[in-house]
């Protein structure tokens, strides 16, 4: 992953309301939060964030009404571009009412190489029979720190498919707590982190099966190069009467340098006796057999290493349901691994 950096357009973007995405995906509604200021909301759209102050703290809420299933995906692009106030804190809330469904993509970016600290809470409430596709894409500079605390409460037969793509960032911390409070819930969480230089990544996942008959499935995969470090701590809790729980958790790491480090702690705490649960973690190096196989077909070593890394993360990207988004993320991941610019084709900014 040598020579990785995000392309910064000439001149610094100061006027946040001028920020626009030039290559939006089809069927996508876009909103922006630039330095904590929300813009781009379209009043006619059901699916959107609106400002709803919570004391002195900034808070943005997206409420999807009962039975409402908008076809469009909502993309919220959060950018940091004013280094004179490096610390920013705000919260997001997504409230899925009964039998609603939606797809939301949250992108976070720093637009300059300066020092930033962004912290954000996100509360997600999934009422009975609701469904949410939630993708987080993090692409920040090496001096940026970003702390995300995501809390999810799930009702009966609710479905969450969450994918966290941590493409680039100095210090990324993602904590996720899911409470499965209604029977028949399904929770899928995929995580992908690509770290190099002195970057740091931490994922802290707590998944509570509080009631019977819920299903959860987590997979986190990371590639670490140079002196980067990652930590994964994942606890799956199964309450005493949460029978027929199915819970799976895996964390796999690929170290491509001798200095990169990973600490992984997968944990299961099970108090019910009729459950199917598994967890596992691995830390490995490039597979020499597979590299040799590719080289024997004439694929040069450098390319073979990239193909192997792409193959490693493929499983996580496959979890993204929207095809165009999946392809875009795959392309960003590929260019990240190749050490090219991590921005969309035909755009000089750094969104997903």
Partner 1 sequence: MNDIILNIEGLAATIDGKEILKGIDLTIRKGETHAIMGPNGSGKSTLSAVLAGKPNYNVTGGKVTFMGRDLLEMSPEERSWAGLFLSFQYPIEVPGVTNVNFMKSAVNEHRKQKGLPPLSAAAFLKLMREKMAVVEMDSSFSSRGVNVGFSGGEKKRNEIFQMAMLEPSLAILDETDSGLDVDALRIVAAGVNKLKTPDNAAIVITHYQRLLDYIVPDVVHVLYKGRIIKTAGKELALEVEKKGYDWLIHESEA
Q: Could you give the CA distance from residue 287 to residue 296 in angstroms, rounded to a whole number?
A: 14
Q: Within positions 276 to 295, which residues make up the interface with partner 1, using CB under 8 A?
A: 288-290, 292-295
CB 180 within 8 A of CB 152: no
Classify residue 57 by burial, with Cβ atoms within 10 Å: 0-12, 13-18, 19+. exposed
Among the residue ranges 25-33, 43-51, 236-244, 296-304, the one whose residues contact partner 1 (CB under 8 A): 296-304
**Looking at beta carbons only, is 123 or 315 nearer to partner 1?**
315
Residue 117 engages partner 1 in binding (rule: CB under 8 A): no
In whole angstroms, the minimum distance from the beta carbon of 302 to partner 1 comes to 10
Minimum CB distance to partner 1, residue 311 (Å):
3
| CB of 209 or CB of 221, closer to partner 1 | 221
CB 169 to partner 1: min, Å: 24
Q: At what angle do helices 301-317 and 288-295 cross, to 10 degrees?
A: 120
With contacts defined by CB under 8 A, name the span among 125-133, 137-145, 183-191, 310-318 that binds partner 1. Answer: 310-318
Of these, 143, 183, 186, 315, which contacts partner 1 (CB under 8 A)? Answer: 315
Q: Please tell me what DSSP assigns to residue 24.
A: P
In whole angstroms, the minimum distance from the beta carbon of 258 to partner 1 comes to: 17
Per CB under 8 A, contacts with partner 1 among 224-253 are none
Using an 8 Å Cβ cutoff, are 91 and 54 in contact?
yes
CA distance 323 to 103: 12
Torsion of CA 309, 311, 315, 317, to 10 degrees: 70
Q: Of 218, 210, 182, 217, give the one whose Cα is nearest residue 270.
A: 210
Q: Is 193 in the site for partner 1 (CB under 8 A)?
A: no
Q: Give the residue among 242, 212, 232 at the shortest CA–CA distance from 280.
A: 232
For the bound state, the minimum distance from the C-beta of residue 315 to partner 1, rounded and expressed in Å, comes to 7
Does 323 participate in binding partner 1 (rule CB under 8 A)? no
Q: In terms of CB distance, is 26 or 297 closer to partner 1?
A: 297
Is 313 one of the binding residues for partner 1 (CB under 8 A)? yes
Candidate residues 9, 314, 327, 348; the one interacting with partner 1 per rule CB under 8 A: 314
Cβ atoms 129, 157 nearer than 8 A: yes
**Burial (Cβ within 10 Å: 0-12, 13-18, ≥19) of residue 316:** buried
By CB under 8 A, how many residues form the interface with partner 1? 22
Rounded distance, CA 284 to CA 156, Å? 39
- Closest approach of Cβ 295 to partner 1, in Å? 4
Instruction: List interacting residues with partner 1 (CB under 8 A).
Output: 288-290, 292-301, 303, 307-308, 310-315
């Amino acid at each position: 992953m040598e020579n990785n950096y995000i392309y910064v357009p000439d001149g610094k973007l100061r006027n946040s309301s001028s920020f626009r995405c030039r290559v939006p995906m089809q069927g996508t509604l876009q909103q922006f939060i630039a330095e904590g200021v929300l813009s781009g909301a379209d009043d006619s759209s059901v699916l959107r964030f609106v400002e709803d102050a919570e004391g002195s703290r900034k808070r943005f809420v997206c409420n999807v009404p009962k039975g409402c299933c908008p076809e469009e995906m909502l993309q919220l692009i959060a950018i940091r571009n004013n280094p004179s106030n490096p610390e920013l804190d705000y919260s997001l809330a997504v409230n899925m009412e009964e039998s609603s469904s939606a797809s939301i993509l949250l992108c976070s970016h720093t637009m300059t190489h300066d020092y930033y600290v962004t912290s954000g809470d996100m509360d997600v409430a999934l009422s009975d029979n609701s469904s949410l596709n939630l993708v987080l894409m993090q692409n920040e500079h090496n001096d940026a720190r970003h702390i995300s605390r995501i809390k999810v409460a799930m009702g009966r037969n609710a479905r969450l498919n969450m994918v966290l793509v941590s493409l680039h960032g100095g210090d990324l911390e993602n904590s996720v707590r899911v409470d499965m409070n209604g029977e028949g819930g399904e929770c899928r969480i995929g995580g992908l982190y690509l770290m190099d230089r002195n970057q740091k990544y931490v994922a802290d996942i707590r998944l509570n099966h509080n009631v019977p008959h819920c299903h959860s499935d987590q997979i986190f995969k990371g590639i670490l190069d140079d002196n980067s470090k990652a930590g994964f701590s994942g606890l799956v809790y199964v309450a005493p009467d949460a029978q027929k729980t199915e819970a799976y958790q895996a964390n796999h790491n690929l170290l491509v340098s001798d200095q990169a480090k990973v600490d992984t702690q997968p944990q299961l705490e099970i108090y019910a006796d009729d459950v199917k649960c598994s967890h596992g973690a691995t830390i490995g190096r490039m597979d020499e057999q597979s590299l040799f196989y590719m080289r024997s077909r004439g694929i040069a070593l450098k390319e073979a290493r990239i193909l192997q890394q792409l193959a490693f993360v493929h499983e996580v990207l496959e979890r993204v349901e929207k095809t165009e988004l999946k392809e875009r993320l795959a392309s960003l991941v590929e260019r990240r691994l190749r050490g090219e610019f991590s921005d969309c084709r035909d755009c000089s900014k750094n969104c997903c």
